[in-house]
Amino acid sequence: MVWRPQDLQGLDPKTQVARIGHTVGENKRVQIVDEAKKANIRILNPGLKKPTEPEVVPEAAPAETTEEAKVEATPSTAPEEPAEEKTEKKIEQTEKKARSEKSKPKKKTKRKSSK
């Protein structure tokens, strides 16, 4: 188990591999992976997330001016959010709800006496 880049120094790259501790943050994880590459040591769980590039959506050609197009372009209809943003918002809401439920103390119920 590796928690610091210095922990890699005692490993033999021919017979040993490294496993990064689950509590290690992203910055230190990057340092550990860099040191492991230099020492030619294999990491079992690098776990680095590669930054994703946002998809570029080409704009649609202007539509013909018909009654339907005018109705669609009215300000009363809000533009739809991309599906990716919707799912991100749902995930954030779910996580926020879970955190708030954890912080609430449980209510104690009184037992009725059987006398």
Q: Give the per-residue pLDDT at 38.
A: 93
Q: Give the per-residue pLDDT at 90.
A: 77
Buried b / exposed e over 9-29, threshold 16 CB at 10 Å, is: eebeeeeeebebeeebeeebb
Q: Give the per-residue pLDDT at 75.
A: 54
Q: Give the per-residue pLDDT at 40.
A: 94
Strand (E) or helix (H) holding 30:
helix 26-39
Give the span between the Cα atoms of 18 and 40, in whole angstroms: 11
Q: Give the per-residue pLDDT at 36.
A: 94
pTM of the model: 0.43
Q: Which two tokens stand for residue 64?
A: 């013909």
pLDDT means per 10 residues, the chain with 115 residues, are 92 93 92 93 84 61 54 54 70 75 66 68
